[in-house]
Amino acid sequence: MDSHISPVDLQKAYRLINHGPTVLVSARHAGVDNVMAAAWACALDFAPPKLTVVLDKSSKTRELIEQSGAFVIQVPTVAQLQLTNAVGTLSLSAEPDKLKKSGVGLFSIEGHDLPFVAGCSAWLACKLIPEIHNQQTYDLFIGEVVGAWADTRVFSNGRWHFEGADPEWRSLHHVAGGHFYAIGEPLKAQD
Amino acid sequence: MDSHISPVDLQKAYRLINHGPTVLVSARHAGVDNVMAAAWACALDFAPPKLTVVLDKSSKTRELIEQSGAFVIQVPTVAQLQLTNAVGTLSLSAEPDKLKKSGVGLFSIEGHDLPFVAGCSAWLACKLIPEIHNQQTYDLFIGEVVGAWADTRVFSNGRWHFEGADPEWRSLHHVAGGHFYAIGEPLKAQD
């Protein structure tokens, strides 16, 4: 594991996605790994931390999650714009070498049999909370966050530091098609 | 209604929140209006458009939504940083003049008996889809979007134009406490 990757206190894990970034969803089952992009992911609770993610019935990653009961939500960076667009466009069913074509490198974190995407800024290992009605009716999946990590070059002491990091570390916020916005400048409300 | 406010095609309504902004949730019941801030709101479907929003059991706005079955999700701007923080901090139960104290102005849109917050960049009128298990267990509410509007100074032809508008129009993305990021610069992935 890259020496810049450090665990994040589970109580602060929600902060990794609180600002609404587009995420990458990855999963593993029976020797098959896949990664997809999802703009529709959202925090759901603080403690224990939970999140929601919408996964279309056509996606291979959804199938892997239904089989394994686990997945990773990770926050891609501006440097991964092409990778994010590629894993959001290509399908593993049609393109067996999707991950290679998309430039995805995977790494492991001890204690979690899950594929983590290298180069992201944050990772949340999740255990699926089965809610069949939500999954079937709304394509809505709920996960409990059981592990969280971030790259200390952009997230440390429970805070993002986009303003102090290389702009390549900024999060991506998808609009439609291949169009995204990067996250911008910090603002502090007065008490 | 402000002459800059224009209807948005329901098929493109998801784009108003696809980039993950913190939103304002407003509702009305029996002559009571309230507005709260929510970072945990997310698109759920394209057509008919649906969204999710997490509403704590202590919030008065949640009570109004449970009673009326309707709400508005609106996208506040950098110019509304203080307002957004105030409606996210003050409680109507403790502060009967919360909306006045927070600087909230409301306006009406014909055909919708709902309080719309003036000065936002986009509005989604929603009909609650009752899902009692989600509401009770996860504080998770699902709405069907039945009307959508945007301010044409920052959203037109189905697209945000943050980069061409005054920076005061940028969306807010909450991290924690009074800390936010504004949305940043556009990026286009190569095909």
The minimum CA-CA distance between A1 and chain B, rounded to whole Å, is 27
Instruction: Quickly state the pLDDT bin for B91 (edges 50, 70, 90).
Output: very high
Contact call for B19 and A20, based on CB within 8 A = yes
Chain B residues 163-182 within an 8 A CB cutoff of chain A: 170, 172-176, 178-182
pLDDT in tens, A32-78: 999 999 999 999 999 999 999 999 999 999 999 999 999 999 999 99
A69 closest CA partner among A109, A11, A39, A112? A112
pLDDT in tens, A137-175: 999 999 999 999 999 999 999 999 999 999 999 999 999
**What is this structure's pTM?**
0.97
Chain A residues 60-89 within an 8 A CB cutoff of chain B: 78, 81-82, 84-85
Instruction: Quickly state the pLDDT bin for B84 (edges 50, 70, 90).
Output: very high
Q: Which of A142, A173, A178 shows the shortest C-beta gap to B183?
A: A173
Q: Looking at the predicted structure, is the pLDDT value of residue B191 above 90?
A: no
Which residue type occupies A106?
A: L
Residue-range domains of chain B with CATH? 5-182 (2.30.110.10)
Q: What is the pLDDT averaged over residues B62-80?
A: 98
Contact call for A189 and B50, based on CB within 8 A = no
A57 touches chain B (CB under 8 A): no
Element (DSSP H or E) covering residue B27: strand B23-29
Residue B51 bridge partners (DSSP) = B43, B143
pLDDT in tens, A73-114: 999 999 999 999 999 999 998 999 999 999 999 999 999 999
Instruction: Quickly state the pLDDT bin for A125 (edges 50, 70, 90).
Output: very high
Instruction: Give the pLDDT confidence score for residue A191 in this predicted structure.
Output: 80
| Residues of chain B above pLDDT 70, percent | 99
Q: Looking at the predicted structure, is the pLDDT value of residue B1 above 80?
A: no
Mean pLDDT for chain B?
A: 97
Q: Looking at the predicted structure, is the pLDDT value of residue B87 above 80?
A: yes
Contact call for A175 and B160, based on CB within 8 A = yes
Contacts of B70 (CB under 8 A, 6+ apart): B27, B28, B112, B113, B114, B125, B126, B127, B128
B71/A47 Cα distance (integer angstroms):
27
Q: What is the pLDDT averaged over residues B155-164?
A: 97
Contact call for B173 and A134, based on CB within 8 A = no
Contact call for A185 and B182, based on CB within 8 A = yes
Chain A residues 134-163 within an 8 A CB cutoff of chain B: 134, 138-140, 142, 158-160, 162
Element (DSSP H or E) covering residue B107: strand B106-109
pLDDT in tens, A9-19: 999 999 999 99
Instruction: Give the pLDDT confidence score for residue B2 in this predicted structure.
Output: 82
Instruction: Quickly state the pLDDT bin for A2 (edges 50, 70, 90).
Output: confident
| Residues of chain A above pLDDT 70, percent | 99
Q: Which of A22, A52, A82 shows the shortest C-beta gap to B190?
A: A82
